[in-house]
Amino acid sequence: MNVLIVDEMHPSIVEMPKSLGLSVDYLPKISREEFLRILPNYEGLIIRSKFVIDEPLIKSATKLKFIGRAGAGLDLIDVEACHKNHIAIFAANEGNRIAVAEHLIGMLLTLFNNIHVANQEVANGVWKREENRGTELFAKTVGIIGYGNNGQTTAERLVAFGCNVLAYDKHRYGFGNQFVTECSMEEIYREADIISLHVPLNSETVGMIDSDYLNRFKKPIYFCNVSRGETVKLQDLTDALEEGQVLGACLDVLENEKLDKLTPEQQVTFTKLTNNPKVILTPHIAGWTHQSYKRINKVLRDKIGRFLDLHQ
């Protein structure tokens, strides 16, 4: 079975499929034109985010048996078209869940303790103690929206900080335990101090965080997004920050992450976010540690291995 890899990945991505008896072509510099030309020769495809895998492309890949996504989320792949053409899909959500959870905790601690502001002030010779007095994460009520791999792992770490964790997942039931309370969105609207978003990007979640959503909370909240930027209408979030409905935000993802191609309206919103000391921004790196970079490949190898065992 021939496998094509089209994204820059940890070098182990080549050796791990070979250990399963697969023939691997690693072509991270490949153009889309060349990709389209040679894809029909392969039974397997491993990608990260280089190309959109749409229905015409899938139909042209007549030999394709599986697609492995080296990361979390399948929003760049036409999942329905894959199912119609009997192509299995594997994501590696388990590979970066620890990285995502630790990154979010780091962002919250930075925000609550003014670490980003105080660091810059001290570097500039300014020593302000009272002005940088922090707020404890302990005893805060956190609402986890989406209780998959990343949501669950984040919840576990928040519990260790003494947080009261509430979780809602539209598509899961019966996951509550002695540490995490499974609840309705109405309970989260009423009780939460912090919201952490862990949902996939699809037709249900695009733009789900808007003014109407944010105004449903009974008290001002801190808002965190380490899932997909397009789930949040940033202008509405910016308005909520200015109005005090949102006290602060931790954002690893943005609506438009191509900062050199922002529309004039997006540029205004982005400038407001960067100028707000109550906003922590990082460049979509929550799941991007040295360890997760390699662990993702192992998750894919194991899933591909199970697929091959079932189809031999």
- Give the CATH superfamily of 97-281: NAD(P)-binding Rossmann-like Domain (3.40.50.720)
What's the pLDDT at 33?
94
Rounded Cα gap, residues 300 and 34, in angstroms: 24
Instruction: Output the CA angle 102-105-106, nearest 5 degrees.
Output: 85
Of 66, 73, 9, give the one whose Cα is nearest residue 43: 66
Largest CA distance in the chain: 67
Under-50 pLDDT residues of the chain = none
What's the pLDDT at 312?
66
Residue matched to tokens 């899961």: 172
**pLDDT single digits (tens) 192-208:** 999 999 999 999 999 99
Of 228, 244, 237, give the one whose Cα is nearest residue 269: 237
**pLDDT single digits (tens) 21-35:** 999 999 999 999 999
Sheet with strand 2-5: strands edge to edge: 23-26, 2-5, 44-47, 66-69, 88-91
CB 57 within 8 A of CB 81: no
What's the N-to-C CA distance of the chain in angstroms? 12
Rounded Cα gap, residues 270 and 267, in angstroms: 5
Amino acid at 72: A
Of 92, 153, 5, give the one whose Cα is nearest residue 299: 92
Put simply, whether the predicted model's pTM sits higher than 0.85 gets the answer yes
Q: Specify the DSSP element, H or E, that contains 84.
A: helix 79-84
What's the pLDDT at 311?
78
CA distances in angstroms from 295 to 15, 35, 240, 289, listed in the order given: 13, 26, 38, 10
| Residue 308 token pair | 């091959």
Q: Specify the DSSP element, H or E, that contains 115.
A: helix 115-123
Rounded Cα gap, residues 185 and 35, in angstroms: 44
DSSP notation for 233-256: -HHHHHHHHHHTSEEEEEES--S-
Of 140, 109, 100, give the one whose Cα is nearest residue 225: 100
What's the pLDDT at 19?
84
β-pair partners for 133: none
Rounded Cα gap, residues 20 and 180, in angstroms: 38
The yes or no reply on domain 2-94+290-310 and CATH 3.50.30.10 is no
Please report, for the chain, the start and end positions of each structural domain, with discontinuous segments joined by +.
2-94+290-310, 97-281
Angle between helix 264-274 and 234-243 (nearest 10): 40
What's the pLDDT at 72?
82
Of 43, 4, 7, 19, give the one whose Cα is nearest residue 305: 19
Cβ burial of 139 (10 Å; 0-12, 13-18, 19+) is: exposed
Neighbours of 181 (CB within 10 A): 17
Cβ burial of 161 (10 Å; 0-12, 13-18, 19+) is: middle
